[in-house]
Structure 1
Amino acid sequence: MRRNRECIMEKDLLNKIIALRKKLHEIPERSLAETKTKQTLMQFLQENTTLSIVDCGKWFYAVRKADVGDRKAPVAFRADMDAVCAKGGQPGHYCGHDGHSSILAGLALYLDKGKTELNRDVYFIFQPVEETGQGAKLCLPLLEEKKIGEIYGLHNIPGYPKNHILIKEGTFACASTGIEIRMTGTPSHAAYPEAGKNPGFALAKLLLEVEKLMEQVNETRGFVRMTLIGMEIGSDSYGVSASDGVLRLTVRGERECVFEEYVAAIKELAKERAKEENLTLAIHEIERFPATENHMDSVKKLRACAAKQGLPVTELKEPMRWSEDFGYYLQKTEGAFFGIGDGEDHVQLHTEQYEFPDEIIETAVRMFGGLV
């Protein structure tokens, strides 16, 4: 059985995975439109493995069944497939999801070609729509259906030493959501503003209150952050008092429970300010992500795996401020999310100059393989 066995990739297998990554890089697709990407990955697995592949419409999974009767609970590994949309709406693999999918395909090939017996089923989840936080929800039923006992995922991260395994106890990536707060009153002649209802002062007051609340929560409950994305009020008609305004914020937090309370408190403040000025209120959340909160036992397995593979580890002192919908999986079963360093000087994520570094693919497959 595979128990703490060092995972070594053959050169021809590694070359296949790098070629796949480059092919995926040339066909980036926006969230919920990953048609060619999905087809390319499924065809690759069909041509290069004997694994069972299940098409689930917007996503798919493959499974490597256990070889022995006395089985442990199944383990799952997840990779995302969608691309980031840059200026003009054109998609590009500026986050490295082409690399993530290729790594998971590489693990599938490695386990399929391996000569050692496995004592558990291994599921490979190829997930769409990570960039908007909706993809994990599509795949979640598989965890209960297959009684998956553990799930693992990773992300490449610039600014850290290349091939270092980045581990964080507790929250690896913060929860976040966009919040759009619209207040609507009634217009009036600019000479008689008292005859109308202008939302400008209520929204301005709300913004300052949300910032003060952020400071209070940080001092007493843990990290939260509010970022002003935009505020729009009125028009360029200087003879008309504004009657409609919108405040756009992005809110994030380290711990899910604190984050939820902070978001709820913002909404309550908005209701109070709208009621105070007799304004109509509409609140919308955009692209909500849960906190990616690692399970302690799974973090210990990450450390042990890295040590067995002889891979350097960087223990993160703070969570990543960006968000990952992998947190939904960790709300349902044991598991952990970790990072792999792209290099201290590597181009930053979500920029048009970014491309996934192929030099970390073997390290990623070794980590996943060691966790089986």
Structure 2
Amino acid sequence: MNIANWVLLVVTLLFVRFSDGSLSSDGFSEIPKKFLDFAKRQEVVDWMVGVRRKIHENPELGYEEFETSKLIRQELDKMGVKHKYPVAVTGVVGFIGTGEPPFVAVRADMDALPMQEMVEWEHKSKVPGKMHACGHDAHVTMLLGAAKILQEHREDLKGTVVLVFQPAEEGGGGAKKIIDAGALDNVKAIFGLHVSPDIPVGQVASRPGPLLAGSGFFEAVITGKGGHAAIPQHSIDPILAASNVIVSLQHLISREADPLDSQVVTVAKFQGGGAFNVIPDSVTIGGTFRAFSKESFMQLKQRIEEVIIGQAAVQRCSTTVKFQGDGKPFFPPTVNDKDLHEHFQIVARDMIGSQKVSIMQPLMGSEDFSFYQEAMPGYFYFLGMKNETLGKLESVHSPYFTVNEDALPYGSALHASLALRFLLDFQPKISSSVGKQHDEL
């Protein structure tokens, strides 16, 4: 074979490898670092910081995120990213890529919390009694940052990335409304993150399997017969009954739950009476319960109701038990897909190095990202913000919570890299018949 033919053969083989996506996938390890470099460009950082601070100054509660949604749509329009609105009241769903299968989604939550910000700084919340105390302003910003990265590299996408800007994560079950709206019917996988003040900036942590607990709320009104505290024999004391209920509820964990199957029952509400010498007619108690499997969660729910009714009856009281409230759904456990865990590990290590990617213990907190995981494979992880030189960061849901904006480029680049790599890896699994269906979202 002469030199000319040999060169022609090599070029032909390279073309074949590029055309079926395999070379792009094999050579992907440098892409996450390139995406991170892109996200760290000063003009990109300045833009993200500006967006995040604008959202932070104007917090909106669940299903009220109209101005946040408007800002998101304006930024997507500037990038030339197609989107749907409204989805689930205030949600926005964007699309980058071919518009055809496979579809992979990346999600950010938009809502703030009903609390007064106590941090005095230039971009403090302008809305009394409302604050982004859980980092959702950063989450939205990082997904917009990922959109900018992906739009710049849209010619490399072998499918479609779906950008999910979701309302009402804080108890409102916005993820369930997104699913119920059919917005993600053909999506093959979904990724999400949460900022963490306990993990160093530039590092990530997660785990396969159960990551966060399923959670629910209960409230019970225990009714007796009021009267004078000096003659309790003429009354039926609901305070005594409620006290016995609370102690018995703790026995569900210490004596009925498997010690290796972590569960929690906490009574955090106790209201009854207003005088030192009057036994009230009724007492209201309420709290939360959590577990890492749906089976344990439903068993715990059943036993909570039985214990409250039974223990109240022992003290001659009647009771009504309600779960949740205002139509809010139970949050299922957040369970990470094991294949997506391997995918995440590869991408994150390529970007920041294996020493900065850790396996964490499960947490009893909950996340409505779990609703997506019931409908499709999903993966949720935590992104570090801690920087010792800047001082201690307060925990989420604190009025003193702050965001280390140095984390923004990492979240944006990880979002983009996870989505791009998933589409490349998914290619060999797509049959020609699926490609001809032209499925749409």
Q: Same fold (TM over 0.5)?
A: yes
Q: Is 1:305 equivalent to 2:347 in the alignment?
A: yes
For 1:1-372, list aligned pairs within 5 A.
3=25, 4=28, 5-6=31-32, 7-8=35-36, 9=38, 11=41, 12-56=43-87, 57-66=89-98, 71-72=101-102, 74-87=103-116, 90-114=129-153, 116-141=155-180, 146-220=185-259, 222-236=261-275, 238=277, 240-286=278-324, 288-311=330-353, 312-316=356-360, 318-343=361-386, 345-372=392-419
The runs of 5 or more residues in structure 2 that have no matched partner are 1-20, 118-127, 420-441
The share of aligned pairs that are identical, in percent, is 23
Write the distance in 1 (CA, Å) between the matches of 2:281 and 2:335.
42
2:62 partner letter: S
Write the distance in 2 (CA, Å) between the matches of 1:49 and 1:272.
61
Q: 1:145 to 1:337 in 2, by over 3 A?
A: closer
Instruction: Give the deviation of 1:219 after TM superposition.
Output: 4.0
Write the distance in 1 (CA, Å) between the matches of 2:365 and 2:294.
14
Q: 214-223 or 348-357, which moves further after superposition?
A: 214-223
Q: 335-344 or 224-233, which moves further after superposition?
A: 224-233
Write the distance in 1 (CA, Å) between the matches of 2:374 and 2:291.
16
Instruction: Give the 3-state SS of the residue equivalent to 1:307 in structure 2.
Output: helix
Q: 1:353 to 1:242 in 2, by over 3 A?
A: closer
Whose Rg is larger? 2
Write the distance in 1 (CA, Å) between the matches of 2:252 and 2:154.
58
TM-score, length of structure 1 as denominator length: 0.91
Write the distance in 2 (CA, Å) between the matches of 1:50 and 1:352.
35
Instruction: Give the deviation of 1:55 after TM superposition.
Output: 2.6
Instruction: Give the deviation of 1:13 after TM superposition.
Output: 2.9
What is the total number of aligned residue pairs between the two structures? 367
Which one has a larger percent helix, Structure 1 or Structure 2? 2
Write the distance in 2 (CA, Å) between the matches of 1:50 and 1:87.
35
Write the distance in 1 (CA, Å) between the matches of 2:184 and 2:365.
30
Write the distance in 2 (CA, Å) between the matches of 1:33 and 1:264.
34
Write the distance in 2 (CA, Å) between the matches of 1:36 and 1:30.
11
2:370 partner letter: G
Instruction: Give the deviation of 1:217 after TM superposition.
Output: 4.5
Write the distance in 1 (CA, Å) between the matches of 2:181 and 2:347.
25
Instruction: Give the deviation of 1:254 after TM superposition.
Output: 2.5
Q: 1:187 to 1:319 in 2, by over 3 A?
A: same
Write the distance in 2 (CA, Å) between the matches of 1:59 and 1:145.
13
TM-score, length of structure 2 as denominator length: 0.77
Q: 271-280 or 89-98, which moves further after superposition?
A: 271-280
Instruction: Give the deviation of 1:337 after TM superposition.
Output: 0.4
Q: 292-301 or 221-230, which moves further after superposition?
A: 221-230
Instruction: Give the 3-state SS of the residue equivalent to 2:366 in structure 1.
Output: coil
The runs of 5 or more residues in structure 1 that have no matched partner are none
Instruction: Give the 3-state SS of the residue equivalent to 1:236 in structure 2.
Output: coil
Contact 1:52 1:64 in 2 (8 A): no
Instruction: Give the deviation of 1:48 after TM superposition.
Output: 2.4
Write the distance in 1 (CA, Å) between the matches of 2:169 and 2:83.
24
1:330 partner letter: Q
Q: Calculate the aligned-residue CA RMSD, in Å.
A: 2.2
Contact 2:144 2:412 in 1 (8 A): no
For residues 306-354 of structure 1, the C-alpha deviation after alignment (integer angstroms, 9 at most, x for no partner) is: 12223420210x2122211111111111011000111163232122222
Q: 1:148 to 1:98 in 2, by over 3 A?
A: same
